[in-house]
Amino acid sequence: MASTTPARSSGRLRTVRAGLTRSITGTIGGAVFLIMIVGALVAPLFVQADTATDLTAIYQPPSAAHWLGTDDEGKDIAKQILVGGRDIVIVGLVAAGVSTLIAVAFGALAAYRGGWVDSLIVQVTDFVLTVPQFVLLLVLSAYLRLDSATLLAVLLGLLAWPSLLRAVRAQVLSLKGREFVEAARLVDLGTWRILFREILPNMASYLLVHFILAMTGAVYALAGLYLLGLAPMSGTNWGIMIHQAWTKGAFFYSGGLPYILSPLIVIAILQLSAIWLVRSLEELLNPRLRAQG
């Protein structure tokens, strides 16, 4: 019984891969998304952002020497783009991981156990859903010292799980009556083993879609915090570039436009590729959407 679960999962993954290769947007979105994630994590190992200020090279236009021009201190913008993605991507991945873990664990538990456990988890979820997340982050920033990317990631993850939890709960409610789950109950495999070995693997592709969406949501929230100056301003990343360009008036300089547009465009491309990938995955995993296509 348990040995059939990896086979079902591997077969589903093969279907996803085959479907993505048939979808132009899915192929492009998946390739761009993967390249940007890997590039953001690997590029800082090979590229170093300029540290010295060069007042003779302020706001230079794009050229062979500086592909995206220079900023208000004469530093190369292209190098900052290559180096600045790691913190953003890591925060997005950690935040998505935290929110997905909470939603999966408690959503599945609520649906499987039912009773007062289900009622309690649903009530807490409804309460958190009523709290405006970004406003709460602004309030927390006034009392907490948000000087750590890890702390930011955990906070974003702790606020982003309710909607996914409700979706997981609904999925588990529809799966827990299946024959393979009933068979697992008969041999008394235990609640957590049934959830994580029998039920959740059947939702792997569905959870992957929501993980990507949670990551993009965390990236947008983080960019907003940086724009408002509420995130740690140490090092180099796309959010800091947006904040610096905005506060130092890059709009008012003829050569300053690439400085503020470059991180915005990179974030937009990352989000667009994720949306294309998610849309293709949804069409592959949802029979109704496949039938409409």
pLDDT in tens, 74-86: 999 999 999 999 9
Calculate ∠ Cα 278-177-11, nearest 5°: 40
Residue 131 in 3-state DSSP? coil
The pLDDT assigned to 123 comes to 94
The pLDDT assigned to 77 comes to 94
Cβ atoms of 141 and 200 within 8 Å: the answer is no
CATH assignment at residue 137: 1.10.3720.10
Which residue type is seen at 90? Answer: I
Q: Residue holding tokens 């300029």? A: 50
Which residue type is seen at 291? Answer: A
The pLDDT assigned to 289 comes to 46
CA 195 to chain centre: 24
Instruction: Give me the half-sphere count of Cα atoms (radius 13 Å) on the Cβ side of residue 239.
Output: 25
Instruction: Give me the half-sphere count of Cα atoms (radius 13 Å) on the Cβ side of residue 36.
Output: 25
The pLDDT assigned to 1 comes to 46
Range of the domain at 48: 4-292
21-43 residues labelled b (16+ CB within 10 A) or e (exposed): eebebbbbbbebbeebbeebeeb
Find the helix or strand (DSSP H, E) in which 207 lies: helix 204-227
The Cα–Cα gap between 123 and 165 comes to 12
The Cα–Cα gap between 152 and 222 comes to 8
Ranges under pLDDT 70 in the chain:
1-22, 180, 185-189, 191, 284-293
Contacts of 258-264 with C-beta under 8 Å, sequence gap 24+, read 258/61, 258/62, 258/68, 258/69, 258/77, 259/59, 259/69, 259/70, 259/71, 259/72, 259/77, 262/68, 262/77, 262/78, 262/81, 263/81, 263/84, 263/238, 263/239
Cβ atoms of 249 and 201 within 8 Å: the answer is no
The Cα–Cα gap between 202 and 98 comes to 20
The Cα–Cα gap between 223 and 89 comes to 11
The pLDDT assigned to 83 comes to 94
Question: Hey, what are 135's tokens?
Answer: 């406003």
How many angstroms separate the first and last alpha carbons of the chain? Answer: 35
Of 108, 107, 98, 86, nearest to 37 (Cα)?
Answer: 86
Q: Residue holding tokens 């955990």? A: 154
Question: Hey, what are 236's tokens?
Answer: 């180099």
**C-alpha torsion angle, residues 132, 135, 141, 147 (rounded to 10):** 70
Domain count, the chain: 1
